[in-house]
Amino acid sequence: MPAPYCYDYPRPMVAVDLAVFAWTGDGLRVLLVRRRNEPFAGSWALPGGYLGMDESPEEGARRELREETGLVLPGPVEPLGFFGDPGRDPRGRTISLVHAAVVGPGDHPIEGSDDAAEAAWKPADADLRLAFDHAKILRAAGRWLMDGLRDGGLAKALFAGEPPQDSLVAIRRAIGSLEANPSAS
């Protein structure tokens, strides 16, 4: 009988990443971690890592978020899509199952831990060189956020009620900046 997980064809690695947005008085923020290890040591990235064999993609995304930032999301986490272009990870063929979420107003303390040297709420429209293809993922997450704001559901979660019109305009500008960001991975 063959050993478990031994096959004649190559098998990609499966990762989970999570784009988390928050609104502060300073604008739209996204939660990023500074990578402690290679590849891309010292670069900013979305929280994420490899999916465990006994967990769902959502469970894996929530676990990685908790391990790397200390943040536990009380609200929903929505599947955003998968990203799997060959060469996106120099360690080998990796497909990432990406989720997205928003956190409402309030204090959301975070601290880099595990393989994240640092965690920070960064301006969503900052011109950061993100690791892997995370700039591409962040643009997709921005479109997800805009769709959710149009529907109204994410606006209520992000602002805990009806959002001020000027805040929605600022979010649209930030997401527009993401779309125009030349730092695409």
Residue 2 identity: P
CA distance 80 to 97: 8
Q: Which of 59, 118, 162, 179 is catalytic?
A: 118
118 is catalytic: yes
In sequence order, the 6+-apart residues with CB closer than 8 A to the CB of 165 are none
Q: Is 104 helix (H, G, I), strand (E, B) or coil?
A: coil
C-alpha torsion angle, residues 28, 140, 52, 62 (rounded to 10)? 30
Can you list the alpha helix ranges (DSSP code H) found in 25-161? 57-69, 134-151, 153-159
Residues classed as catalytic = 118
